[in-house]
Structures are given as structure tokens and as C-alpha cells.
Structure 1
Amino acid sequence: MPNVRFSEAVTSFYVDTALRVSRTVHVSQDNDLQAVPSTLVHPGDRLLFADFAQQVLTNFPATQITSLRDVEELHMEKNAIHNIPEEIKFLRNLKVLYLNDNCIDSLCEELGELTTLVRLDLSNNPIGCSNSIEVISALHNIQELRLYNTQLEEFPAEFCKKLIHLELLGLSGNKLRSLPKEIINLVKLKEIYLQKNKFESFPLELCQLSELEVLDMEGNSLRVLPKEIACLQKLEKLYLAFNRLQSLPNSLSSCEQLIVLDVAGNSLQDLPQSIAQLAYLKELGLSHNDLRVFPLQLCKVTSLQVLYLQNTGIKTMPSNFINLGKIQFLDLSQNCLHYFPAEICSLLNLQMLSLDDNRIHKIPAEVNKLANLKVLGLTGNKLKAFPEQICFLESLEKLYLGQDQGKKFAVVPENIGQLKNLKELYLENNSLEFLPATIKLLEKLEILDCQNNILKELPESICELKGLQRLLLQYNQLTSLPKDLDRLQKLKVLILDDNPMSDPPVNICSQGIPAVWKYLQEKRLRHVKATKIQAWWRGLMVRKGLGCFARLQAELRKARKEKQEKGKKGSAKGKKGKGSGKGQRPSAGKSKKK
């Protein structure tokens, strides 16, 4: 099953007028903006929002600055702009500026004159190698600054002294090893993103930012989380995944407002007992740690709704796991479970369950209690046959039963048609020779993956899956397709590679869906013509007075039969004459008879 990553908080900015010009921008052959569309610029009108994103521009529209003098939000991201012109200083009302994903390697001094700017994004530009980045320190009113992937090796201390209104600071994807001690001046800072840098120790200065709500240091080399983390009592989201942590401090429980804690991909073998005191914790990521035993203290965190335990070496689940009745998402994939934990069947709010790549050999009948389950992953287990118990999970929308590592299924049961809400069905890497006709009852099915089986034919009923968008059938033994498969008008992907196809032939299949549909339609048309010709011939026989077609057919069969009998008699005579010819000795019995 696909991993689900905790989403990063995204803020929005409200503007009075949202006149988007991205669909009507005029771009010259030199990829330079010629003009702001006149339809949007009228005397007396105030253009407050302009979007020139993804227009393949190589130059900032300096000549059109006067037309944008009232703009408060300007989007220039995802172009090929190399420089910011000095004319930008005339945008006196600009509050939001997006210049991320360009080719800017230096900043002009005039950028510092945009004193009304509250949000600036310069991510994915190589500006970190230039001293010109210091100009940002002049933007005293800036509240959100994003400098992701800008090749920064050091965060300027000057920023910490002058940008005292900062609430969001994005520095992920750089080369930072430390932060300046002056960062404690950012007393209003609520969110800081330091993911994928080169930190080997936790910056203690961060623990003095008492307003901090989101702290992301995923993908560094941290070995210890200091006890001073307890000072961040407003912290709501803490991301520390893929570091080198061997333990968590007991003082973490002082972060009483914590909602999300992600410590996946570390070297944890246990959790502090105090974690049970995190009364508001809803999402906990523990995947890829060496726990081996389910931490009993987690059973007291009854607020949990999302729990990741992928690849943690867990073999059993404790009986009091049923206390976590609010769990909606549970990932227990890639563990050592030999059975489907019965305790899970008591989690009535469960919507997503991943048990892929375990050693489960049987599904309990009690699984039908999971009335709200929408996604179920059982890929790569030791199930001996398709688990029919799951056919009673009527709310199921996605079912993963591919067996690339586990035992393979030979049959899909007829009652799979009970899964009326199923949208995605994955049955790859099994030993299926056919699919049941009841598959037509999966009216909401959008994806059907049957690759790498031994399918020899498809049921005609598959043509009734009107919502099917992806049909994966590579590596099977199919020679033909259902004659009405082209009824699947929503189908976007049809893969038939490595099948001994003859109807349609391989060269047609390799050309894609339009070619396959054309072949099926032409074949159907030929059949219709042949039927008409046969009907015409039958009618002609009747009209000519040669009798009823059925009687004519009977007489024809009778004539053929008589002809065959005469041929047999003639053959018998020939054999008798051959036996009495020259050189043959008649048997004693025949001589006496003569």
C-alpha cells in the first residue's frame, strides 16, 4: 500500500479581488511578457492579484510594472527568470510575492524596498551562494519566508535581528549544520521547517521559541532530543523522522498540545512511559524502528486516530489495544504477524488498514465488524485462498491482494460482487485462470490490476464496468478480448504486454486503446454484415419456392448423410476385392464356406 505522509500545514492569503491573468498572458517569441491584458486593466480599476506562473518567461515583466502598481499578490513561480529588475521597487502595495522555481542566482537591492511585503517565496533558486541574500533583512514586515532548496550553508544572523515579525520560516533542503543564537529574537515564530539539512545536534535555541507550533527536522542526523523540548508547550506538530534517535525524553510529555508526532526511521526500541500523558495526540509515526514489541503505554493514548507501525518487528498485539477505539488509520505492514489480530476487529472507526507483507494465513469471521473500512491491504501474506470473509465489507473502496511474496490464489469467489463500493482491486502476481462473471456487479470499479496471472480469457461481463479507467493485464495467457470491451468508454489505460494475443493481434494491442477499439468495432461490423448476408440467402430460398429454410437444411443434411453411406459401402467393396487378389491365400474358414 502507498505510504501516507503527514501533510505539511499550508496557509492561505485572502485578497479582495482575484483577477487571474495566467490564461490570457501574451508571451513573445523571446519568452518575454508583452503586456498585461487590456481587458483586465481599465481606468479606475485596481488589479490586486496577478498570476504569471508557468508561462516559460525568462524575464521579469519590468516594462509592465506601472500596470501592476496596485497589485498586492503576484505569482511568478515556475518560469525561467534569471533576474529581478530594479523596477520592482514601484510595487509599493505588494504583500505576497512568489518567485519560487526559477533560475534566480542573485537579488537586487530594490527588493528590500518592498516594505509592505508579508510573504515571500524564493524556494528552488540558487541564491544561497550569493551575498545578495542579505537584502531580505530589509523586509521588516515579512511574516512568511520560504527559502527551500536555495543552497544555503548558513542562515544569516542579520535576519534574526531584523525580521522580528516572522511567523513561518522554511529552510528545508539546504546545507545548514546550525542556527545562529540570534534566532531567539524571532519571538513570533510559529512554524519552522528544517527538513533535509545537515544537523547532527538539535539547536537548543529553538527551545526558547515559546510560540512555536510546528517544528520539522526530518531527514537530518540528530542523535538526541534534548529534555529542553519541554519548553515548547504550544508545540502541536513535531517531525523527527529519519534521524538517528535512540530514545525520546520523558519531558516530551510537557508538550501537552502535541497533535502530531513523527519519529519514524530512527533507532527507537521503546517509548517513554510519559507518552501516555499526551492527551491530544492524534497522529503517531513509529514505522521503521526496532520496537519488536507493541509499546503497552500507547494503549493509554486513547486520542490516537492515525498510527504507523510499518516494519517494527511486531509479532503480536496486546489485548488492551481495543482501547484505541478512535483509530481510523492503522499501518502494520512488513511485520511478523502470523495471524490477523482479533483486537483490530473491535476498532469500529477504522477506515484504512494495512497488513501487507506479514505471515497471516487466515482472516477471522469477525472482520465483518469493520463496517467503516474503506482500504484494506493484504498483499504478500500466507493466505491459502482468497479470503471470502472480506466480501462482507460493503464499505470497502480499495483492496490489495497481490501476492508478489506470499501464496498465490487460483480463484476469485463469486461473492466478490457484494463489494458494491469497490473502486480499486489489485490481484496481481497470483495464479488466476479466470475472473468470475459477478465482477460486473462492481459498478464503481475504476482500477483492476490482474497483471502476472495465468488468465486465458476475460468474462464478457467485464464490459459492463462502465467506470473502469485502468485495466492491467500484462503477463497473462490471453489470446482474445471480449467483443464488446470498447463499451468501456472511460478506460484510459489498457496494458496487454506479454500475452499471446491473436484477436486482436499483438501489433494492434501495442498501438493502444484507440487501435484496439477500432479493431473490435470493425470485427463487430463484419459480423453484422455476415449475419445480414446469411439472412438474405435464407429469405431468397423461401422466395424462390424452394421451401422453408429449415426443411431445406434438413434435406441437405439428409443428402450429405446418404452420400457418406454410399462412400462407406464402396470402400467396403474395394477392400473385399483387394483381399481376394493374386498372391493372397484365403483362410481355412473361407475355403470351407465356398
Structure 2
Amino acid sequence: MAHIYTPRSLSDIRELRMRIETEDPLFYGLKKLKMRGRDLSNIPPALFHISELEVLDLSPERESCLTFKLTFVPRAVSKLINLKVLVLDTNELDELPIEITKLVNIERLALSNNHLSGLPEGFNKLTKLRSLHLANNEFEGFPMQLCDIEGLEFLDLCDNKLQVLPAEISRLTELHTLLLFVNRLEALPDTICDMTNLHCLWIGNNLIKQLPRAFGNLKYLDWGIRCTSSTLDGNPLVSPPIEICRMGPDAIEKYLNSSRGDMSSRNSLNGVPNGGQHRTDDESDRGQSRSSRSKNGSGKAKKTSNGRETRKNTRARRERNMQLHEYSDDDI
């Protein structure tokens, strides 16, 4: 049924339009409306008829009473077709309506500090989305639809329950900030090393023991003690140790390459092919040694025979003994 505009509803629209601002330093020039207090627990229907809105903030003020929170997002939100920014932080949301996927012009969506565990079907239709905030929710699995939003630049999934990152995350080639602080990750996929546009990566306070071999490819990261762009602390890291990580990507790359080289050397020394070759060479050496000794023995025998021939007349008395005994060179 079409909405019937009553004098009250028309006055509500006019009142809300008077509250629109365009000089917020964060969204300068955009038409912004922030709802406060009781309006959050009972959003006026007139709001969804202000189609020119570009920024809508429905997050409660932290310094004011937090008892007024959204428990659901009205389906009428789909009417705000010009929205570029929607802020829904710090509410009591446990799901999003599928209608939110009709906000095809949305660029920034803030959903942190709620109870979300998934995203609605069709979320990947938000192809203009550049910044997504999902910190402090209930995600146990990585939302796979995000891998289809290839223009995404900022993704915050801190303080969730993630155990695995999909290899497909590397499809987010424009991502420059990936925040995964405080999760349950035990490893990172090798494909994360292909995300060379990353400037900020927070993976502290997880269960990661080893970094991917090509991790040094992420040259834009700063792994210094300042930890301004990246964090690894709070992981049981073994390869490389945290001390190496704090020296930066070049040190990480050098360590991992060195470890790989050492492993290759050990395999070369202990492997069957090389070990077999060593044994063959040793046996060849021993064979040559035996041959040499055999030749030397033959030479000595020949010399002895010649000696006996030259001394035959003077050693006649030893003829019989020579048939029974073998004399040394000293005896000849």
C-alpha cells in the first residue's frame, strides 16, 4: 500500500531535512543525517523518504545513554538509494536485511560492535564498497562474498572468531588495510603474499606459528617496533621469531630464504640420491686403492724374481728354501 502523507509525516520529513549537515570534516560536502537517543529505538518512517541522503549515522553516542540501540535495520533502508556511507556501529544487530544489498552506491559500511555472524545473500552486489568495518562481532568463518568485491580497500574483522582465511582473499587486489587482530587463526594462506598493495596488516593475538615462505613480498608493510602499520605480537611464532619480524620485511624474507636453503642442504646431504652417490664414490676410491696395492704387489714380485735370477749362482743353497718361503725385499 502506498504511503499516505499526513500533515504529521510531512512535517517530520521537513524537520529531518533541517537536521541535514554538509560540513562534517569526515564527509565534507555530503548530505549527512545523524539519529540520536530515542530516535534509534524508534526510527521515524519519514527518514526513509529523504532519498537525497548520502551519509546516515545510526550509531549511538558513546558519551550518552547507550540504552537506545537498534535491534534491527528497517527494510525501508533500501529506499535510500543515494547513500554512500551507512554507520550502524555499537547496536544490537544479529542480522542484516537482504534489502541492504540494494544500496548499490554504498562506499563505506560500519557494522562493528554488534552480534553479526554472517552477511545477507547478494552482499557481493555492493561493488562500489571500499571500506567495511566488522570488528567485534561473531564471525567464525570468513564471509566469502567479500572476495567478489574486488574494489574493497579497507577490511576490519578484528575481535571475531575466525579460524581460517580462504586462499581466495588474494582476489582483493586493491586491499591496502586488513585488520585481523584477536581471532583464532592458526596460519595464513600462501596467497596472501600476492596482496602486494597491503600497507597495513594486523594479525596479532592469533595462533600463528609460521609465516608463508613469500611473506617478504609484502614490501609496503612496516614491521618495526613502532607497530604503526602491522602487528604480529601475541602469536606463538617460531618461523621467523618475533625478533626477526620486527626488523621488517627484508629481514623476514632473508630469514625464510635462509631457512629454506638450510633445509635444502640437509636434504641434499641426507637424501638417498646424493647419499648413494657418496657411497659409490667411496667404493670407487676403495677399488682404486685395492688396484693400486695389487699393482704394487705385482711389481714387488717381479723385482724379487729378477733378483733371484741375478743371484742364482750365489744363492744356490737357498733354492730349496725359496720354494717354501717368501722373502722380503730386505732379504734380497
TM-score, scaled to structure 1? 0.36
User: Is 2:244 the partner of 1:508?
Assistant: yes
Secondary structure in 2 matching 1:453: coil
- In 2, distance between residues paired with 1:506 and 1:316? 43
Q: CA 1:467–1:532 in structure 2 vs 1: closer, same or farther (change >3 Å)?
A: farther
- Residue 299 of structure 1 deviates from its aligned partner by 2.3
Q: Read off the aligned partner of 1:520 and give its amino acid letter.
A: L
User: Is 2:46 the partner of 1:290?
Assistant: no
Secondary structure in 2 matching 1:471: strand
**Which residue matches 2:108?**
352
Task: Return the match for 1:367 from 100, 123, 128.
Answer: 123
Answer 1 or 2: which has greater helix percent.
2
TM alignment of 1:432-511, pairs within 5 A: 432=163, 434-493=164-223, 494-511=230-247
**Which residue matches 1:271?**
none
Aligned residues: 252
**Which residue matches 2:259?**
523
Larger RCO, structures 1/2 (Cα 8 Å, 6+ apart): 2
**Which residue matches 2:22?**
260
Deviation per CA, 1:260-297, whole angstroms, max 9, x where unpaired? Answer: 277xxxxxxxxxxxxxxxxxx95223154331222222
Secondary structure in 2 matching 1:526: helix
Q: Read off the aligned partner of 2:181 and give its amino acid letter.
A: Q
**Which residue matches 1:148?**
none
Q: Percent identity?
A: 29
**Which residue matches 1:336?**
92
Task: Return the match for 1:396 from 139, 147, 152.
Answer: 152
Larger radius of gyration: 2
CA contact (8 A) 2:138 2:161 kept: no
- Residue 543 of structure 1 deviates from its aligned partner by 5.9
- In 2, distance between residues paired with 1:283 and 1:464? 38
User: Is 2:44 the partner of 1:306?
Assistant: no
**Which residue matches 1:104?**
none
- In 2, distance between residues paired with 1:435 and 1:306? 31
CA contact (8 A) 1:486 1:517 kept: yes
User: Is 2:115 the partner of 1:379?
Assistant: no
Q: Read off the aligned partner of 1:306 and give its amino acid letter.
A: V
- In 2, distance between residues paired with 1:532 and 1:321? 64
- In 2, distance between residues paired with 1:260 and 1:541? 82
Q: CA 1:444–1:320 in structure 2 vs 1: closer, same or farther (change >3 Å)?
A: closer
CA contact (8 A) 2:214 2:253 kept: no
Q: Which runs of 5 or more residues in structure 2 are unaligned?
A: 1-10, 61-67, 224-229, 285-332
Q: Read off the aligned partner of 2:259 and give its amino acid letter.
A: K
Q: Read off the aligned partner of 2:78 and give its amino acid letter.
A: I
- Residue 513 of structure 1 deviates from its aligned partner by 4.2
CA contact (8 A) 1:355 1:379 kept: yes
Q: Read off the aligned partner of 2:37 and give its amino acid letter.
A: N
Deviation per CA, 1:462-519, whole angstroms, max 9, x where unpaired? Answer: 3333333333332233333333322333332353323333333344345554543332
TM alignment of 1:73-84, pairs within 5 A: none
- Residue 541 of structure 1 deviates from its aligned partner by 4.8
Secondary structure in 2 matching 1:260: coil
**Which residue matches 1:430?**
161
- Residue 318 of structure 1 deviates from its aligned partner by 4.2
- In 2, distance between residues paired with 1:317 and 1:435? 28
Q: Which runs of 5 or more residues in structure 1 are unaligned?
A: 1-248, 263-280, 405-428, 547-594
Q: CA 1:455–1:525 in structure 2 vs 1: closer, same or farther (change >3 Å)?
A: same
Q: CA 1:445–1:378 in structure 2 vs 1: closer, same or farther (change >3 Å)?
A: closer
- Residue 340 of structure 1 deviates from its aligned partner by 0.6
CA contact (8 A) 1:437 1:459 kept: yes
CA contact (8 A) 1:261 1:285 kept: no
- In 1, distance between residues paired with 2:210 and 2:73? 48
- Cα RMSD for the two superposed structures: 3.8
Secondary structure in 2 matching 1:448: strand
CA contact (8 A) 1:354 1:378 kept: yes
Q: CA 1:515–1:287 in structure 2 vs 1: closer, same or farther (change >3 Å)?
A: farther
Secondary structure in 1 matching 2:38: coil
Q: CA 1:511–1:373 in structure 2 vs 1: closer, same or farther (change >3 Å)?
A: closer
